[in-house]
């Protein structure tokens, strides 16, 4: 039920052709969910108009990282200052939740560094506990992507926690792979870059 594929991020489309189907299905499902949840708003794509919700890549500002002391991330870059089992990313709203007015389609994770400092991950999405995944195989790749065969939806005001077994200290950039829907487009179109998306 929780299958995944590990591949090079730069070659995900070539080496994992099912990725296109996964992303198309995820996008269609997420748009339908948002149209139902946010009615009467309609989908406006990347350039929504009044009365529409918009689409964007997943923004790091919706998440707290290990090294940000409970402040939203500005980039996907973090600094691991301890080893062992740790919570390395959570929703940035109260109670480790996703802010209201945002819904996220999570298709996987990407490690943007050559040095992978994590040996195992697991997630909790709302009350669903996703089993542990050993990712030591990732260390053989330049920029490994872990693509879920069945993506997840991170609903607004629902919890998100990403746990990891950290093996070494230092920098690590872990990007969430997927799409994000934004009920209030001005929060992305008008706000300053790097600002919190509350």
pLDDT of residue 19: 85
159, β-bridge pairs:
97
144, β-bridge pairs:
8
Beta-carbon contacts of 121 under 8 Å, excluding residues fewer than 6 positions away, are 109, 132, 133, 135, 146, 162, 163, 164, 165
Distances in Å between the Cα of 31 and the Cα atoms of 105, 136, 198 are 10, 34, 21
pLDDT of residue 68: 54
pLDDT of residue 133: 92
CB 124, CB 159: distance < 8 Å: yes
- Answer with the residue of higher pLDDT: 72 or 34: 34
Three-class secondary structure of residue 113 per DSSP = coil
Q: What's the Rg (C-alpha) of the chain?
A: 16
Kindly tell me if the per-residue pLDDT of 13 is higher than 80. no
Task: Read off the pLDDT of residues 49-89 as tens digits, 9 standing for 90 and up.
Answer: 999 999 999 999 999 987 556 678 999 999 998 899 999 99
Q: Rounded CA gap, 73 and 182, in Å?
A: 18
Beta-carbon contacts of 7 under 8 Å, excluding residues fewer than 6 positions away, are 15, 16, 141, 144, 145, 147
Q: Rounded CA gap, 174 and 84, in Å?
A: 17
Kindly tell me if the per-residue pLDDT of 30 is higher than 90. yes
Tell me what the pLDDT averaged over the chain comes to: 90
- Answer with the residue of higher pLDDT: 64 or 15: 64
Query: Which of 11-15, 79-83, 87-91, 160-164 has the least mean pLDDT?
Result: 11-15
**Could you give the angle at the alpha carbon of 27 between the alpha carbons of 122 and 113, nearest 5°?**
45
Domains annotated on the chain, with CATH: 4-189 (2.60.120)
pLDDT of residue 7: 85
- pTM summary value: 0.92
């Amino acid at each position: 039920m929780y299958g995944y594929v590990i591949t090079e991020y730069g070659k995900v489309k070539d080496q994992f052709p099912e990725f296109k189907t996964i992303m198309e299905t995820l996008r269609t499902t997420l748009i339908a969910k948002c149209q139902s949840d946010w009615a009467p708003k309609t989908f406006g794509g990347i350039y929504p108009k009044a009365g529409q919700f918009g689409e964007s890549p997943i923004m790091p500002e919706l998440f707290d990282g290990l090294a940000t002391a409970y402040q939203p991330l500005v980039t996907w870059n973090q600094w691991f200052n301890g080893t062992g089992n740790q919570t390395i990313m959570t929703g940035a709203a109260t109670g480790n939740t996703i802010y209201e007015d945002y819904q996220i389609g999570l298709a996987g994770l990407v490690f943007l560094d050559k040095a992978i400092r994590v040996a195992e991950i697991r997630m909790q999405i709302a009350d669903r506990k996703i089993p542990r995944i050993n990712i030591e195989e990732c260390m053989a790749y330049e920029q490994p992507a872990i693509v879920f065969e069945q993506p997840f939806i991170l609903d607004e005001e629902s919890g998100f926690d990403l746990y990891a077994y950290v093996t070494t200290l230092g920098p690590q950039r872990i990007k969430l792979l997927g799409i994000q829907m934004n009920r209030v487009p001005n929060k992305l179109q008008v706000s300053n870059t790097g600002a919190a998306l509350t």
